[in-house]
Structure 1
């Protein structure tokens, strides 16, 4: 996907996904560069997590829009798409988890559209959706090789609720990838 943006002040908008969701996903690069694995610590800010540097490589998750087809129009889930200067550049998939929290099943921003407030705008919509449903908070998971995402979640008020060193060992027994579970707890619910 080729993005042409107004570099001075791009306009971000978010709305419910429509029939354009699948073509947008199939045609967009969501990869990111990994150059380190963080040693996540429940008791320290992300900026103080030690880093184990690695030879840089591109990480790309296999995003399949069909996986979330049943979410469209369902009462306990939603897919929102973000637009930057009217071009689709990001999405978030949210559902109500078994424990009552809103669960961010997927959050992705096109590689060329990062650092324009797209992910924060999507998280703001998830917060609004969650509060409207009177849920106790939001939960999501990322990995220790996605340090930019960890910094974003922390800036948005999320806290680390757990770290799982074994989650990805079934995929790769030698992996250094660690799952980090983030929570945003709502203090005053209606």
Structure 2
């Protein structure tokens, strides 16, 4: 397996099919205190698995607009078939590499493909002298959070209204994760 760059023009209309399920999520609890706020993310289990099945473009024009050098797309092939994709770009205003999209086909997960893609992101960030790598996931995708933590990413923050105004109640809060161990 090796990572190779994909031509954006050829892949600009490609849609990634994200499909995952989890029996765990991080419950977000935000409490106001006398001196500020207390924020807690506590791992919970659910009786009914959380199932997500949706599509998103591999690349979108705004990714180039947000990236100083323009977004880049990478893939991993096994037996001639692309089984993993990653789109990255450098946020020039704060010198971070952002992973916009990362997907490994469901039947190829837990084989090191995601690690290979993130290693490529780390290599690019180091070559471009970025201070950090950031990415987004959701509190209800406990498997993704666990994977990113194993790759050296840490919790960086959350956005409690990224998707809907009731993200906290729906247990689907956007979290940012960061890698800064260069």
Match of 2:106 in 1: 111
| Ranges in structure 1 where 5+ consecutive residues have no aligned partner | 1-11, 42-47
- Residue 85, structure 1, aligned to residue 79, structure 2: yes
Structure 1 moving runs of 4+ over 6 Å = none
1:122 is aligned, of 117, 131, 139, to 117
Counterpart secondary structure, 1:145: coil
Q: 2:20 aligns to what?
A: 32
Structure 2 unaligned regions, length at least 5: 30-40
2:154 and 2:137 map into 1 onto residues whose CA distance is: 12
TM-score if structure 1 supplies the norm length? 0.74
The equivalent of 2:152 in structure 1 is 157
Q: CA deviation at 1:30?
A: 2.8
- Structure 1 distance, partners of 2:55, 2:19, is 10
Cα distance 1:54–1:169, how it changes in 2: closer, same or farther (>3 A)? farther
Partner deviation per Cα, 1:71-105 (whole Å, 9 max, x = no partner): 5xx83421111112331011111011132100111
- Work out the CA distance in 2 between the residues paired with 1:174 and 1:51: 14
Alignment of 1:37-52 (within 5 A): 37-39=25-27, 49-52=42-45
Helix, strand or coil at the partner of 2:60: helix
RMSD value, Cα: 2.8
Q: More strand by proportion, 1 or 2? A: 2
The 1:40–1:83 alpha-carbon spacing in structure 2 relative to 1, beyond 3 Å, is farther
Q: Distance in 1 between matches of 2:105 and 2:18?
A: 5
Matched positions, count: 166
Q: Distance in 2 between matches of 1:110 and 1:95?
A: 22
- Per the alignment, residue 53 of structure 2 pairs with 60
Q: 2:178 aligns with which of 161, 167, 183?
A: 183
Does structure 1 retain, via aligned residues, the 8 Å contact 2:17–2:54? no
- The CA distance in 2 between the partners of 1:178 and 1:167, in whole Å, is 7
Partner of 1:5: none
